[in-house]
Amino acid sequence: MAPYVTEFDLYEPEHVDGKDAVKQKVAVIGSGSWGTALARIAALNAAEKKGFHPEVRMWVREREIPGKGLLTELINNTHQNSRYLPDVSLPHNLRAVPELADVVKDATLIVLVVPHQFLTPVLETLSKPGVLAPNARAISAIKGVEVAGDQIYTYPSIIEKRLGIPCSALGGANIALEVAHSEFCETTIGVPSPEDAALWHAVFDAPAFRVHPIEDVAGVSLSGALKNVVAMAAGFVDGMGLGGNTKAAILRIGLLEMASFTKEFFPESSSLTFSHHSAGVADLITTSFGGRNRKCAEAFVKTGKSFTQLEHELLNGQKLQGVATAEEVFHFLEARGRLQDFPLFDKVYRISFEDMDPKCLFENL
Amino acid sequence: MAPYVTEFDLYEPEHVDGKDAVKQKVAVIGSGSWGTALARIAALNAAEKKGFHPEVRMWVREREIPGKGLLTELINNTHQNSRYLPDVSLPHNLRAVPELADVVKDATLIVLVVPHQFLTPVLETLSKPGVLAPNARAISAIKGVEVAGDQIYTYPSIIEKRLGIPCSALGGANIALEVAHSEFCETTIGVPSPEDAALWHAVFDAPAFRVHPIEDVAGVSLSGALKNVVAMAAGFVDGMGLGGNTKAAILRIGLLEMASFTKEFFPESSSLTFSHHSAGVADLITTSFGGRNRKCAEAFVKTGKSFTQLEHELLNGQKLQGVATAEEVFHFLEARGRLQDFPLFDKVYRISFEDMDPKCLFENL
């Protein structure tokens, strides 16, 4: 388990039997803030780099915007996704497309960045014969994890299995709007092979968006899920009015728990992903100081309202990622009889769902 | 290089030749916020634990407080150090003492927590014959590092050499006032032997102040110095109005630079100290979000004033730790011809002293 050390910028298109170079074609499935921000970078790179088809397609669920026409037309005419990425100009070679099959037609590089509850129908369409190009590869920027009894699955593994194509993972300290404003940041991609590392690096790397490819697909994916559980603990600390020492201690303990969870249940992963990479420590810091999991967890302590209530009031009923992951991880660890070695994950669940006093967060850590 | 796994709470006094147990006696040299907070914990533990002399002495530079008498008497009568730790009750067995030789008389455990510029005269007094007990041990909570040309020294190594006694290091995410208010936090002690680990753990460990002893004395000491340089970079990011992604990226890169600096010049140290322990990642987080190095660095970018001006205006002319360390580390790396592998440390110096544009912080990282 090590970072790839290939010269990724040297990615050059393959020549097949003396014919024209095979052009890579990028498709982005998802058009929320993060999907649009990633599509923007991919389109900027595709327009400039040799070996890429210049058009990047982005899947947008079609709907009528009152007085303004169809959403895809609006995005394609204004070159803005004003709901999810206000005041950000999108490159003209980024094209919003309403039909999923059209988005991925001839695409070789598929970026999956839908909320996890929409993944199943997306995979159903993509797995139909003839929809995907035979040489397609995927990358998942989906946060979360799937648990069934005592089994746990990352999204890249689910995608890989369902579509029969290699799937990488992308994660890091990446608040979408800051990325779209080209503020300096880093991201980590976990990729199964050096060839895929070179390809995905070429798709996303930019002067203000530094892409570091590593081998650990499971670690990058798990970190994106588990950090939200730790961010909830950070929110509880804020809600109790405790200071920087306590929050830093919770982050440190949480990061170690994230790493040992991943190491235990995905033994091929690397603890360096958590301690050294943007998908680990940096993403955890950003999420625990700025994200909405932290914010809702703070409100949970301060108001005494349940998460169901808070999700209703603050998120239009949308399920908070950290709450969902805390629940899944708790039930998985319970099914495995392994709760005792993950006291922080255990407590976040019990505080959220079993009326445990938030002050108990620090016991047995 | 590993954490000690002894049962530290089992520390019991040594019995010598059937005589009474040798009682450990704690002396704290320094009475600023951090010195007083550490003295408070040590006194609470000494009062309760077997094997400790109940009185803990703390060195206070004597002076007359207008209308209130001598400072030591004021502290000993009110059981408060109202200038440095307002509204915190100090245990009655903690005694402020004006003469250094009296503070350390018969003391076996010496806590050094003076600003580094005061260390030389302190060591001069302590090294006089008969001042220190022959079986004394020391621990340094002093932040900073000493550079002379192409040589670099940690404070524990200076203390050890000058006094001829073993010296440990203490560091972590420990804002003094939060520690004094018993908010949950952790600290790391780097100790040269399991015996010293057990002793210092017994002195400081408390339910809300979790002490983790590890072997890496140099790493704990260096981290306390170098984190302030990274916190200045974090302050520059804040001053430029950049967001959480950028700050997290700078912290991540800074943490790796701290670890590789220490590994290169103190090869006996461990990179785990930085990635896994409170003295590393947790202290860096707390300092980069809350500390005064961050704050002054933000003001530096926003106001365009020099650090000398800012130190004059905001710190009564006191030298900012991060600025001093950035300067020392830069000159050391320059003398060694090793600047190119520490671009963040290099840039913090050049932005601070050579009019480099803060926007250049991200180049070559």
Contacts 24+ apart (CB under 8 A), A312-321: A319/A117, A320/A292, A320/A293, A320/A296, A321/A143, A321/A144, A321/A225, A321/A228, A321/A293
**Distance from the B238 Cα atom to the nearest Cα atom in chain A, whole angstroms:** 12
Q: To the nearest whole angstrom, how far is the Cα of A95 from the nearest Cα of chain B?
A: 27
pTM attached to this predicted model:
0.94
Helix, strand and coil percent figures for chain A, each rounded to 5: 50, 15, 35
Instruction: Count chain A–chain B contacts defined by CB atoms under 8 A.
Output: 128
DSSP code for B52: B
Write out the residues of chain A at the interface with chain B, using a CB-CB cutoff of 8 A: 173-175, 178-179, 183-186, 208, 210, 242-249, 251-253, 255-256, 275-278, 281-283, 285-286, 289-290, 362, 365
Annotated binding site of B for substrate: 143, 292-293
Determine if residue A161 is labeled as part of a ligand binding site: no
What CATH superfamily classification does A221-362 receive? N-(1-d-carboxylethyl)-l-norvaline Dehydrogenase; domain 2 (1.10.1040.10)
Chain B, nearest residue to A259 by Cα? B276
Name which of B175, B183, B246 is nearest A183 (Cβ-Cβ).
B246
Flag whether A176 is marked binding.
Answer: yes
Nearest Cβ partner for A245 among B173, B246, B281: B173
Is B25 tagged catalytic? no
In terms of residues, how long is chain B?
Answer: 365
Q: Please, where in chain B does CATH 1.10.1040.10 lie?
A: 221-362
Chain-centre distance of CA B118, in angstroms?
A: 14
Residuewise pLDDT in 10s, chain A (365 residues) = 456 654 444 455 555 454 556 799 999 999 999 999 999 999 999 999 989 999 999 999 999 999 999 999 999 999 999 989 999 999 999 999 999 999 999 999 999 999 988 999 999 999 999 999 999 999 999 999 999 999 999 999 999 999 999 999 999 999 999 999 999 999 999 999 999 999 999 999 999 999 999 999 999 999 999 999 999 999 999 999 999 999 999 999 999 999 999 999 999 999 999 999 999 999 999 999 998 999 999 999 999 999 999 999 988 877 899 999 999 999 999 999 999 999 999 999 999 999 999 999 999 88
* pLDDT the model gives residue A16: 46
Is the distance from CB of B125 to CB of B152 less than 8 angstroms? no
CA distance B138 to chain A (A): 25
Which pair of tokens denotes residue A355? 């009326």
State yes or no: A200 annotated in a binding site: no
Q: Strand, coil or helix: what is A206?
A: strand
pLDDT value of residue B206: 97
The beta-carbon neighbor of A249 closest among B244, B252, B282 is: B282
> Which residues in B have their CB inside 8 Å of a CB on A?
173-175, 178-179, 183-186, 208, 210, 242-249, 251-253, 255-256, 275-278, 281-283, 285-286, 289-290, 362, 365
- A20: tokens are 């024209």
DSSP single-letter state for residue B144? -
Query: Of A173, A251, A290, which has the smallest distance from its Cβ to B282's Cβ?
Result: A251
Residues of chain B with CATH 3.40.50.720: 26-215
The answer to whether B228 and B287 have CB atoms below 8 angstroms apart is yes
d(CA B76, CA A138): 69
Instruction: Note the maximum CA span of chain B.
Output: 69
User: Do the chains contact at A245 and B183, CB–CB below 8 Å?
Assistant: yes
CA angle A365/A252/B226 to nearest 5° reads 140
Report ipTM (2 d.p.): 0.94
Closest CA–CA distance from residue A185 to any residue of chain B (Å): 5
pLDDT in tens, chain B (365 residues): 456 654 444 455 555 454 556 799 999 999 999 999 999 999 999 999 989 999 999 999 999 999 999 999 999 999 999 989 999 999 999 999 999 999 999 999 999 999 988 999 999 999 999 999 999 999 999 999 999 999 999 999 999 999 999 999 999 999 999 999 999 999 999 999 999 999 999 999 999 999 999 999 999 999 999 999 999 999 999 999 999 999 999 999 999 999 999 999 999 999 999 999 999 999 999 999 998 999 999 999 999 999 999 999 988 877 899 999 999 999 999 999 999 999 999 999 999 999 999 999 999 88
pLDDT one-digit tens code per residue, A225-237? 999 999 999 999 9
Q: Which of A25, A227, A263, A347 is catalytic?
A: A227
CB contact under 8 A, B249 and A185: yes
Cβ contact, residue pair A256, B244, below 8 Å? no
Comparing CA positions, the residue from B212, B236, B220, B239 lying closest to residue B279 is B220
Q: What is the per-residue pLDDT for B256?
A: 98
Rounded CA separation A188/A170 (Å): 6
Distance CA B128, CA A285 (A): 48
Q: Which of B184, B246, B288 to mutate to probe the A interface, most A CBs <10 Å?
A: B184
CA distance A60 to A74: 11
Other C-beta atoms within 10 Å of B214: how many? 23
Q: Which top CATH class is A26-215?
A: alpha beta
**What is residue A357's predicted lDDT score, i.e. its pLDDT?**
98
CB atoms inside a 10 Å sphere around CB B124: 11
Crossing angle of helices A244-265 and B283-290, in 10° steps, is 140
How many whole angstroms separate alpha carbon B63 and alpha carbon B236?
A: 38
Catalytic position from the list B25, B227, B247, B263 = B227
